Amino acid sequence: DQQVKQNSPSLSVQEGRISILNCDYTNSMFDYFLWYKKYPAEGPTFLISISSIKDKNEDGRFTVFLNKSAKHLSLHIVPSQPGDSAVYFCAASPNGGSQGNLIFGKGTKLSVKP
Amino acid sequence: KAGVTQTPRYLIKTRGQQVTLSCSPISGHRSVSWYQQTPGQGLQFLFEYFSETQRNKGNFPGRFSGRQFSNSRSEMNVSTLELGDSALYLCASSLFRAAETQYFGPGTRLLVL
């Protein structure tokens, strides 16, 4: 039973355009969310996070939006660059990160074409 | 500050053997978690160690075990290897809890023949 779902295994975007990666969760106890980027043969790199007290968090070209009522979050990358081509993982944790562990989605492979 | 390091980076074993993987967390981080990544399965949580104690465990058989030393370094052991154990094994560290922001090492690629 997947608690964190990334329903699009892959996404292709033109350089300079917006990339939108989506993530849905089922556990209403989740209140801390993160996005990681992973290149082949490397470990995941932390990108950005958001807690449930906010609905938006921005860091440079990366913005994460959280819709608690829909149990949905998205990562926007604007503008997309070829170096953004990687697998993006969404992760969630309950109770403000005070217990348990991160639960990861299966990832979305983003390809940014020049 | 040095990141999370893992050794070895690549490993080839045969069925029935055992393997030990090592992880050194970021200095000051006391929580170390291990994950298995296989194609199409995302990152599956194996276990978390904190203060030399296993604090949390995922849904893996007992062949998968680990330990943590007083300097927070951690090892993971897989006994009686099976073909299905071929995967990328990732170690991640965080300050205190596995549910916080974690920082990953480069992983150990294990191939079981």
Burial per residue of A20-46, b for 16 or more beta-carbon CB atoms within 10 angstroms, e otherwise: bbbbbbeeeebbbbbbbbbeeeebbee
Nearest C-alpha neighbor of B37 from the set A111, A33, A107: A107
Fill in the DSSP letter of residue A42. Answer: S
Q: Do the strands A108-113 and A86-94 form a parallel or antiparallel pair, or are they unpaired? A: antiparallel
Tell me which chain A residues have a C-beta less than 8 angstroms from the C-beta of B43.
Answer: 44, 89, 91, 104
Tell me which chain B residues have a C-beta less than 8 angstroms from the C-beta of A34.
Answer: 101
* Owner of token pair 């779902």: A5
Q: Do the strands A30-38 and A56-59 form a parallel or antiparallel pair, or are they unpaired? A: unpaired
pLDDT per residue rounded down to tens, chain A (114 residues)? 789 999 999 999 999 999 999 999 999 989 999 999 999 888 999 999 999 999 999 999 999 999 999 999 999 999 999 999 999 999 998 876 666 788 999 999 999 999
Tell me which chain A residues have a C-beta less than 8 angstroms from the C-beta of B89.
Answer: none
Sheet containing B19-24, strands listed edge to edge, beginning at the edge strand earlier in sequence? B5-7, B19-24, B74-78, B64-68
Contact B42 A94 (CB under 8 A): no
For A101-105, B88-92, B108-112, which range has the lowest pLDDT when averaged over its residues? A101-105
Burial per residue of B15-46, b for 16 or more beta-carbon CB atoms within 10 angstroms, e otherwise: eeeebebebbbbeebbbbbbbbbeeeebbbbb
